């Protein structure tokens, strides 16, 4: 009985495996089919995911293997932790040329150390120093960043020691606000940005404080001269009491940087108030006469408009303050003013009929003067630097103009027997160019533009042009006790002055012309008008408002060779 019961129970358990059981019960058959489909799908999906995962893992392993192979190329051996990054391969010719320029800098510097240490400038032929800027050690301060960039650290340290122990600004001397700013404030700030040595910042703050009272005018347009010990700002008598455009609009880079480095806004506020006032009276073509009344804020209605002496660096700084502020909103109005001025520049450009040299005229009232200063040869570099802020069509137009003007400036050099440029050139109908003022005082503007054009276009022709200019300096201006300018580029007769900007600008730009673009990169640095590089820092502030002022005319004044750099031709 018990055995029969167990047999019946076992039969009941196995009935679920018999197909006939489900054929008699359709609902259970349907449930079984659904369960089968679900289980099949889950198993298939898991297998698919596993295969995809394995495929992905295999791909990653292959990539890891490839990276290991690449690593071997740089390390030279498997398993090393340190990667040797690929080295920028320089042209051996560039290296040789750069070393020649460095040797020229050493010759100029050692001559200054030997014969003019602590003085503003060296007179190489008479082997003595002169204080052209009140005894501020202009050549020494101007040379600090050049020495640092060239890796001349022993010379830099010696100069730093003089700055620490002997540089004194408490002098009863009427200094040019412009020249002192671009050479001394700019030179000290650049040395600080490069070295991080706070001594230079402290000295820059000292001289900056002494210059600030020059901006104490009803409009904020500064006076152009000030006594470093006693203040008493004033203008040159020969300007009829007016301020000079370039001298008044070429302190913004330095004073903005001084505020950024010290955290004190007073320097920036003073310098930018000038631009706010100028912007208020800004003409539709962006071209300003070279004289502005500091009491009314009005530009002269009949003084010269020029991109040469006394006008030049005002336009340069409109662009460079925009670059210095990292092209942010607070400096947008500088770029807008600059673009307006560049449209005005186009109205001054003419071309010779013989060789198609393009040049920049000066404007007197309603008439054009077909004269161009070598000082205006900074314009090709400025246009090249500014071209990137335009749309494609305008960028190409202004870069093309930069190339044409650079060719003209290069021929300022090539057209003379010494292959050195005169101070200015005249253009006459049916002719190309003829030298006007025939001295050469070692100016840098053409070489400066070649640096910008080479870096922006990559065309090595600009390096070759620069090398030719350097060789002409070596042949005509180098003597045993330094470098001198020429009284006449036609005869080669020498003067007796080694301008401080020869070390600050001309040799620095030549050195950079044969250096990789990463050396003082345009992405990180902006050059002041004395070639002192300042770190680019984004601006977070907003521009100042503009106050209304009345317009007043000014009298004519004598022609002077002032502006971007007050170079002197010595007859001693």
Annotated binding site for Ca(2+): 529
The single residue listed with the structure tokens 């560039």 is: 94
Nearest CA to 401 out of 430, 360, 444 is that of: 360
Tokens representing 535 are 């770190």
Q: Which residues pair with 358 in a beta bridge?
A: 351
Alpha-carbon gap, residue 251 to 246, rounded angstroms: 9
520 CB-contact burial (10 Å; exposed 0-12 / middle 13-18 / buried 19+): buried
- Under 8 Å between Cβ of 502 and 486: no
**Residue 464: Cβ-neighbour burial (10 angstroms; 0-12, 13-18, 19+):** middle
Instruction: Give the DSSP H or E segment for 189.
Output: helix 186-195
Q: Cα–chain-centroid distance for residue 45?
A: 62
Grouping H, G, I as helix, E, B as strand and the rest as coil, residue 128 is: strand
CA-closest candidate to residue 132, choices 123, 161, 508: 123
Token representation of residue 310: 């006394």
| Catalytic (active-site) positions | 179, 312, 423, 445
Binding-site residues, please? 529
Q: What SS3 class is residue 1?
A: coil
Q: How far apart are CA 400 and CA 387, in angstroms?
A: 10
Beta strands in 511-558 (DSSP E): 525-527, 533-535
What contacts 284, CB < 8 A, 6 or more positions away?
340
For residue 231, give both structure tokens. Answer: 């203040």
Torsion of CA 410, 414, 420, 423, to 10 degrees: -60
As a dihedral over the C-alpha atoms of residue 353, residue 357, residue 360, residue 362, rounded to 10 degrees, the angle is -50
Q: What are phi and psi of 4, to 5 degrees?
A: -60, -35
Report the distance separating Cα 255 and Cα 181, nearest Å.
8
Distance CA(524)–CA(546), nearest Å, equals 31
CA–CA dist 155, 117 (Å, integer): 12
Which region holds residue 97: left if phi is over 0, alpha if psi is between -120 and 50, else beta? alpha
Structure tokens at 481: 């006790």
Q: Which residues pair with 508 in a beta bridge?
A: none
Q: How far apart are CA 18 and CA 24, in angstroms?
A: 11
Task: Give CA–CA dist 570/572, Å, rounded.
Answer: 6
Tokens of 339: 């673009």
Please tell me what DSSP assigns to residue 378: G
Q: Is 296 helix (H, G, I), strand (E, B) or coil?
A: coil
């Amino acid at each position: 009985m018990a055995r029969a019961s167990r047999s019946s129970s076992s039969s009941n358990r196995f009935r679920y495996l018999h197909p006939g059981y489900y054929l008699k019960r359709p609902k259970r058959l349907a449930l079984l089919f659904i369960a089968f489909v679900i289980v099949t799908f889950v198993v298939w999906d898991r297998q698919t995911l596993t295969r995809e995962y394995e495929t992905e893992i295999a791909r990653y392993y292959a990539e890891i293997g490839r990276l290991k192979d690449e690593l071997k190329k740089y390390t030279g051996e498997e398993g090393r932790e340190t990667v040797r990054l690929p080295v920028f391969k320089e042209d051996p010719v560039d290296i040789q040329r750069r070393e020649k320029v460095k040797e020229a800098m050493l010759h100029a510097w050692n001559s200054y150390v030997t014969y003019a240490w602590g003085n503003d400038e060296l007179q190489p032929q008479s082997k003595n120093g002169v204080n052209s800027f009140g005894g501020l050690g202009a050549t020494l301060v101007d040379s600090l960043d050049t020495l640092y960039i060239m890796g001349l650290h022993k010379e830099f340290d010696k100069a730093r020691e003089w700055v620490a122990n002997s540089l004194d600004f408490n002098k009863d001397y009427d200094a040019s606000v412009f020249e002192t700013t671009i050479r001394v404030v700019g030179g000290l700030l650049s040395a600080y940005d490069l070295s991080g040595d706070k001594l230079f910042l402290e000295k820059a703050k000292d001289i900056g404080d002494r210059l600030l009272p020059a901006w104490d005018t009803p409009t904020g347009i500064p006076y152009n001269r000030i006594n470093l010990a006693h203040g008493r700002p004033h203008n040159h008598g020969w300007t009829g009491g007016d301020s000079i455009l370039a001298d008044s609009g070429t302190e913004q880079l330095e004073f903005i940087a001084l505020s950024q480095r010290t955290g004190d806004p007073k320097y920036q506020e003073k310098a930018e108030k000038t631009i706010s006032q100028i912007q208020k009276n800004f003409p539709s073509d962006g071209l300003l006469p070279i004289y502005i009344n500091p009491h009314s804020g009005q530009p002269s209605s009949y003084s010269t408009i020029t991109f040469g002496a006394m006008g030049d660096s005002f336009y340069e700084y409109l662009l460079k303050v925009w670059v210095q502020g990292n092209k942010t909103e607070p400096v947008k109005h500088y770029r807008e003013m600059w673009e307006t001025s560049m449209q005005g520049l186009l109205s001054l450009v003419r071309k010779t009929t013989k060789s198609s040299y393009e040049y920049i005229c000066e404007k007197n009232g309603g008439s054009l003067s077909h004269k161009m200063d070598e000082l205006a040869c900074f314009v090709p570099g400025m246009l090249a630097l500014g071209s990137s802020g335009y749309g494609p069509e305008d960028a190409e137009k202004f870069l093309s103009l930069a190339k044409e003007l650079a060719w003209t400036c290069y021929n300022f050099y090539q057209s003379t027997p010494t292959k050195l440029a005169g101070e200015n050139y005249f253009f006459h109908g049916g002719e190309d160019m003829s030298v006007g003022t025939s001295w050469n005082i070692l100016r840098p503007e053409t070489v400066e533009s070649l640096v910008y054009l080479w870096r922006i276009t990559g065309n090595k022709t600009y390096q070759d042009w620069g090398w030719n200019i350097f060789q002409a300096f070596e042949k005509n201006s180098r003597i045993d006790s330094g470098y001198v300018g020429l009284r006449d580029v036609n005869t080669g007769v020498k003067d007796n002055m080694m301008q401080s900007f020869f070390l600050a600008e001309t040799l620095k730009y030549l050195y950079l012309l044969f250096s990789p673009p990463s050396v003082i990169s345009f992405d990180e640095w902006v050059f002041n008008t004395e070639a002192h590089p300042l770190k680019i820092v984004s601006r977070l502030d907003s521009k100042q408002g503009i106050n209304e002022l009345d317009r007043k005319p000014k009298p004519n004044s004598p022609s002077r060779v002032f502006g971007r750099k007050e170079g002197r031709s010595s007859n001693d």
